[in-house]
Chain A
């Protein structure tokens, strides 16, 4: 049994007390004295030349303080992109400017044309309607393949085309891959779409800018997953404010799913306008605005081919993907379809030759960037769908085909540049077959058929690269940031600890899980540890939370800092007990001298550090506070196997999920309850992508799914009770906790399982359906059944 509050205990989330009782402190809860409000006038056309924005009449409206337009941001920096991809010809990507407010052109519905700051939000909205603007609408490019055609309208006139980059990976392998296809005994081909999604965190984005003219200090309160990164990007690249004069605070964050990683124009605007007006300036996104201004996710169009030999061994894999960037490059957009996608194409399989081509394309749509999983779900979906299709074409069991091709020896260097440290894919598949009662499926199918329903079983395996990432490696790959993480551990005089982590929580439960680690290391109660995050003035520069990295990287930094604390505390304890430091042991919150009954409590040592009357001042400094920066040596590689069972109503095409089992290997686990919650949420989002969610634009670039009337979010009754298991554990070999990360797994592993299940169901009913693009809405499934 794990110690209560220690590693392995399902300690209840302490932060939930305030979240569930209305006592959270979200950015919108922050209201500053003298605060003004901004409303953004957003383009209602997808592409157009701005002829005129006349703000004169609007400026005279009641309460209006000032109206800003693109002209006010000339000389101000562009919203930067944090990753530069080099294409397969050795050229860097095309990187357009992204002004805070549109200059010259609007490039997507929702592009801000003007920003009205007024005493009240309603006054700002009223004034927006009095702005006289004239936009010459231009033809929009929405479809990526059309956007690359000769003569297509250009989203950015100063670029040579709408192609951001044409990336090949691994380019040197291309000829060998093609040759393997020529020799293949069987080739399975699949064309598919990974549907565009809108993240829809429960809390919309908010920004409050503040400026103190006495000190020249700027503060930005914002709904961010990584306030330190926002400070660097906005301060250094957009507004020219040095970090010591700019504080970025992200208090409680109500969900992010990736879309709150990025630096947004609204943040820069509020910071800029607060100084210009000498008033705090607040923006709270409406839900409607969120649909057209939060970065979207996914949106890949892919052709994948799998080559097999006569014994059904995978011999080569080839993919051709178009990835939508939208109208501007969001912060990490270029990395998602490349290094977070191409490197995952080996999956769980020992395919020796792989070639991935990705064309990233500008269109007149909202920018697209990382969304829960970011590139890895896109890789997993296409790979696991093509394997499933191959199994059907070859008439072999999809589980057996997967098992036959599993990687079994670790470490394993893939042909796509990454090295998996550990894993046991047969073990997770064994566990899946057990918890999912796969052998009982046929009986359940018969029961469904007796009710007139088609039942299908879909299997999926996934591998993830998370805990991102080694800074030197990502630097070579084009990242303009390091991806270490930091922690300062401050021990107070009476023994309590405060951890200032560079990670941040937007719902993951760090305030509960991180203390469990320290409680275990020192042998004290977890309630003695408090986590502080989300404030650049409170702790070292960190990189934030995304890519399932917080515990693997941020937790490791905290472990390293705590190790420093313990080492110093042992010196103090040795002094107090007049013993040799080498003989000091720490257990259950007390230091003892090995082989004796001498002991001194944790609190006595910490007190000595701050009241150093009897203290080795000649050897060590007083105080007990340490900082560590942890830069991982590799990604971590969680993996798992998922099984989904669906029923399809053959009359209506409606799919219901009857069973869902997930067997994950996350390495060591700190809080199993939180891990289960993360998996549940991820699967829920994956089911949303598979069955319900689709962001749609019409041919003119109008957003057709601009509200919940048309954008279908999963609801509680859309998902089943899950059976999840994470007892298969192959600990990560290169971080001190042996943890791998669990935040994105569910969203990566579930969409292919759902689609594989629906195809299985339809084929069991004699329908010759080999693929349906997500979401598998009733109308799409019905249409597919009609042939």
Chain B
């Protein structure tokens, strides 16, 4: 780790101004950034810790029924407090291990957009809205490929608003070493249709499987997607599985998510 300055603002406004510094970097729960710093793979001059901002923490239900989760809410709190959206609580409760879940935050995970992270699939699969320090971004506009998002420099995720579906499920097939998602599929059934978001698999990061969405919107049953498949050529291929294997798992995990949806 290289030396750095750290600021611990207590309001979103102070955090935004602190991030105005040229080489400043926002620090959420630090589950990605701290290991990166320890390996000397990043050298920000200043870290702006977001964990002291109470207005960015917590879970509530809005008047329109959406589940609102503060960007600084850790996974363990979502697992325990998002009972209104059981599939989301279940996803949060299976990220990493207890140490990770008590440090890592939803905002940090989304801002990082690791192609194997769990949360992006829930946000995209729910058609959630990402609220930042200066605007609202629809999930479909937020994710922009591996480790890339619509966030601009200094922009902070303050909240995520999830429309609660009739039924949903997240099914994760773990990479054996890291236990990140080798393939994770989030399926959510809304009155106006079904959304299917896939993480872990694609070189382009989290994506919606529109063919499956159409089939499941017509018939929300595992057999509805029999015969459908995604192309393995755009999938990640590494020590833990070929692109074809990941493509195969996308269909398997989608069927399982549909079967498990509640």
Contacts and interface: CB of A to CB of B under 8 A. Distances in A.
Contacts of B177: 692, 705, 708-713
Given A651-B252, A652-B252, A779-B245, A708 B178 contact: yes
Q: Which of A692, A694, A712 has the most CB of B within 10 A?
A: A712
B249 A652 contact: yes
B190 interface: no
A406 to B, nearest CB: 36
Q: Which of A125, A692, A777, A783 has the most CB of B within 10 A?
A: A777
A470 interface: no
Q: Chain A interface residue count: which class?
A: 20 to 34
A527 interface: no
A777 B252 contact: no
B239 A705 contact: yes
Interface in B86-107: none
Q: Which of B39, B173, B239 has the most CB of A within 10 A?
A: B239
A51 interface: no
A712 B239 CA distance: 11
A301 B241 CA distance: 22
Contacts of A711: 177
B134 to A, nearest CB: 34
Contacts of B1: 122
Nearest to B38: A286
B176 interface: yes
Contact of B39 (A288, A694, A696): A288
Contacts of A709: 177-178
Interface residues of B, number: 16
Contacts of A288: 39
Contacts of A68: none
Contacts, number: 43
B121 to A, nearest CB: 18
Interface string B1-13: 1000000000000
B240 interface: yes
A782 interface: yes
Interface in B216-252: 239-242, 245, 248-249, 252
Interface string A691-711: 110101000000011001111
Nearest to B3: A122
Contact of A704 (B39, B239, B241, B248): B239
A777 B242 CA distance: 12
A778 interface: yes
Nearest to A777: B176
Contacts of B182: 778
Contact of B178 (A651, A691, A710, A782): A710
Contact of B240 (A125, A708, A713, A779): A779
A783 B239 contact: no
Interface in A462-509: none
B240 A777 contact: yes
B178 A783 contact: no
Nearest to B256: A651
Contacts of A125: 40
A547 to B, nearest CB: 30
A696 B252 contact: no
Contacts of A708: 177-178
A710 B239 contact: yes
B242 A778 contact: no
Contact of B239 (A122, A651, A696): A696
A705 B239 CA distance: 9
A713 B239 CA distance: 15
Q: Which of A288, A651, A708 has the most CB of B within 10 A?
A: A651
Contacts of A777: 176, 240
Interface in B116-136: none
A708 B35 CA distance: 12
Q: Which of A122, A694, A779, A782 has the most CB of B within 10 A?
A: A779
Interface in B35-67: 39-40
Nearest to A708: B177
A696 B176 CA distance: 15
Nearest to A782: B245
Nearest to B97: A715
A782 B176 contact: no
A691 B40 CA distance: 32
A651 B222 CA distance: 14
Nearest to B241: A779
A711 B241 CA distance: 14
A652 B240 CA distance: 13
B239 A782 contact: no
A119 B40 CA distance: 20
B176 A712 contact: yes
Contact of A778 (B39, B40, B176, B178): B176
Contacts of B40: 125
Interface string B144-183: 0000000000000000000000000000010011100010
Nearest to B178: A709
B150 to A, nearest CB: 27
Nearest to B240: A779
Contacts of A779: 240-242, 245
Please provide the 3 A-B residue pairs with the shortest distance between their CB atoms, ordered closest to farther: A712-B177, A779-B241, A712-B176
26 contacts: A122-B1, A288-B39, A652-B173, A652-B249, A652-B252, A654-B173, A692-B176, A692-B177, A696-B239, A704-B239, A705-B177, A705-B239, A708-B177, A708-B178, A710-B177, A710-B178, A711-B177, A712-B176, A713-B177, A777-B176, A778-B173, A778-B182, A778-B241, A779-B240, A782-B248, A783-B242
Given A704-B239, A709-B177, A778-B176, 4 more contacts: A651-B252, A705-B239, A708-B178, A779-B240
